[in-house]
Amino acid sequence: MTQYKVLPGPEHFLPPAAASMGIRLPNPGEGHINGVIVPEEQAYEEAARQFLMAKVPTIFPGPLVLWAWNEKAAKKATAIRHLYETLKECVTPQQRAMLIPMPDYRPKYPKINPEVEINPNHPNLTIWHNKIDCCMFVGVHCHQANLSLKIIRGGTSCYTIAMCAQAGHEDAMLSFRDASVEKIMKLAEWVRKLKGTVKVSQVVSKSGASN
Amino acid sequence: MSKERIKIAPEFYDIMPPEYQDLVNRATYGKEDRGWKDIGSAKELIEEHSLCAGCPESMAFRYILASLPNPEDTVMVGSTGCTSLVFPHVAVHNIHSLFGNQNAIASGLKRALTVRFPGRIKDVVVLAGDGATVDIGLDMTLQAWFRQEKFTTICFDNELYANTGGQESGLMQKGFVAKMAPVGKTFDKVRLPEIARESGCHYVVQCTVSKPSLVEKVIRNAVHVAREIGPTYLQLYTPCILEIGKNSMEGLQEMRDSEKPTERFAFKEFVSEPAKQLLAELAAKDKEKKAAAKEQLAAQQA
């Protein structure tokens, strides 16, 4: 059994793919936290806790939900916005919840504006710039999410959550699978449920998000 | 074919960067008579380019993107070169192929799109430099034409390998001395337009990009002929001002000088009989549409 844990970085310039370290994906009804398979309920609670603990909890919606491809995408967009609004309501004035889009995957060298967008090819720039210490990817194609999650784990101390519509992500610190409108709404419920019960993190990292 | 395909989810409209908002509100997707005159007034499909100041290739790129009849359903296949630096800023699907492979990739892509989207028009346009088209990729270029693959090949002819510092290419003119070809070219410029005609291209044009209206016309013709009949080829002179020792402001004049009737980029056009017929039909339809619009305008004014 692997001893490897998927933890906030900065881990390494090129961190290993978690899958290569023996981390496996959750089955339906499960999630993973730091690479350990857990029941989905536990993942909701931990994700909500991480959001509420963070100074700058952030949601990164990707192209699959930012663009109204179809009815399903539009419904997910509504749910994600609801999650963000809930998060905003539930954090303290010292925290700053953010919603930053990843409109597409083009390598936008050299003109990425980290204040208003995130790019999968250098997601660390947006995380560093906004001092994001907890983020959730949703609506990002898996291969781009994997790339980003690895870069983030490699170069920042940001806690990463993947709300994946497929089989989940080993490279996130916490991953859901089979994301749906219901699951996103349920996470919002958990955020509301834990409001006021979680202490904001005071951790200061030199090379991570909260520097 | 319209902006219906690129709607932002309303919940996220406010957080989208302004260039994406502009794209869905002011781009010319779906506009039937889009053309180079939209440049500067509508949202362009090329946000900004990272090429040298005054680069004729950047002008050509803008004209091409403004002239594509069906940009939202067009895939451009490119090869390594200066244009590779611009494609990330372009709001048209594109594939960056292995150097020289662009026509092979475009062949497979066009066939796959035809199978996958049988009821929809999908255009494929290859855009590559002269090294990729004529030297390293000549095999793929010719084989695609022999097979009568239905896509357009555009060659940005700058007469040398500019991106890598100025090596000799097949389209370089005889006697030219480049930075990394000090002896001077010893054989003539390859006559690719003639080769294209003989290889089965139905519409072939060689010109410079000094006249945007001409570029618009040939691009539209080439795409329409490729869509309906078979392969088409455009060879556009886009001089590399750095490699031929010109200043930023001199690119346009260089093209004007090179397109004179006795010069190597004098306008050249080959059109096959089926293509002639198609273009005549399209022109007639266009004329009818314009006449109808004129009548409608007159009726409104009366």
- Give the model confidence (pLDDT) of A118-132 as tens digits: 999 999 999 999 999
**Does residue B84 have a pLDDT over 90?**
no
Closest partner CB to B88 (pick from A67, A81, A107): A107
Angstrom distance (rounded) from CA B203 to CA B213: 18
We find that the CATH architecture of domain A32-193 is 3-Layer(aba) Sandwich (3.40)
Give the pLDDT confidence of A20-68 residue by residue, as tens digits.
999 999 999 999 999 999 999 999 999 999 999 999 999 999 999 999 9
| Closest alpha carbon to B77 in B59, B49, B98, B46 | B98
| Closest alpha carbon to A98 in A124, A116, A71, A110 | A116
Cα torsion B34, B38, B42, B43 to 10°: value is: 80
pLDDT band at B194 (very low <50, low <70, confident <90, very high): very high
Q: How far is A186 from chain B (nearest CA, A)?
A: 19
Looking at residue B47, what is its pLDDT? 76
Chain A hits for B89, CB-CB cut-off 8 Å, are 106, 108
Q: Is residue B298 domain-resident?
A: no
Cβ-Cβ contacts under 8 Å between A and B: the total is: 48
Q: In chain A, what are the domain boundaries?
A: 32-193
Closest partner CB to B7 (pick from A61, A68, A117): A68
Looking at residue A1, what is its pLDDT? 57
CB B17 to CB A99 under 8 A?
no
Chain B touched by A142 (CB under 8 Å): no
- Quote the percentage of chain B above a pLDDT of 70: 99
CB A77 to CB B11 under 8 A?
yes
Amino acid at A112: I
Cα distances from A151 to residues A119, A165, B25, B71, in angstroms, run: 11, 21, 34, 33
Identify the CATH number of the domain in which residue B242 sits: 3.40.50.970
| 3-class DSSP assignment, residue B178 | strand
Kindly report which listed range (A96-110, A196-210, B140-154, B223-237) carries the lowest average pLDDT score: A196-210
Chain A hits for B15, CB-CB cut-off 8 Å, are 99-101, 116
**Does residue B6 have a pLDDT over 90?**
no
Chain B touched by A115 (CB under 8 Å): no
DSSP class of residue A77 equals H
Looking at residue B2, what is its pLDDT? 60
Q: Taking a contact as any Cβ pair under 8 Å apart, which residues of chain B between 119 and 148 contact chain A?
A: none
Q: Is residue B28 domain-resident?
A: no
The mean pLDDT of B169-196, rounded to a whole number, is 95
Angstrom distance (rounded) from CA A31 to CA A40: 5
pLDDT band at B206 (very low <50, low <70, confident <90, very high): very high
Q: Is residue B278 domain-resident?
A: no
> Which tokens is A82 given?
């609801």
Give the pLDDT confidence of B263-295 residue by residue, as tens digits.
999 999 999 999 999 999 999 999 999 999 999
Q: Taking a contact as any Cβ pair under 8 Å apart, which residues of chain B between 32 and 91 contact chain A?
A: 48, 50, 88-89
Chain A touched by B17 (CB under 8 Å): yes
Q: How far is B41 from chain A (nearest CA, A)?
A: 23
**Does residue B302 have a pLDDT over 90?**
no
Q: How far is A116 from chain B (nearest CA, A)?
A: 6
Which residue of chain B is at minimal alpha-carbon distance from A100?
B15
**Does residue A208 have a pLDDT over 80?**
no
Q: C-alpha angle with apex B68: B150 to B220, nearest 5 degrees?
A: 65
Q: Is residue B252 domain-resident?
A: yes
Domain membership of residue B171 as a residue range: 34-271
CB A111 to CB B10 under 8 A?
no
Chain A touched by B20 (CB under 8 Å): yes
Q: How far is B24 from chain A (nearest CA, A)?
A: 11
Average pLDDT over all residues of chain B:
94
Q: Is residue B46 domain-resident?
A: yes
Chain A hits for B12, CB-CB cut-off 8 Å, are 61, 65-66, 77, 81, 99, 101
Number of domains into which chain B is organized: 1
Which residue of chain B is at minimal alpha-carbon distance from A85?
B11
Q: Is residue B75 domain-resident?
A: yes
Q: How far is A66 from chain B (nearest CA, A)?
A: 5
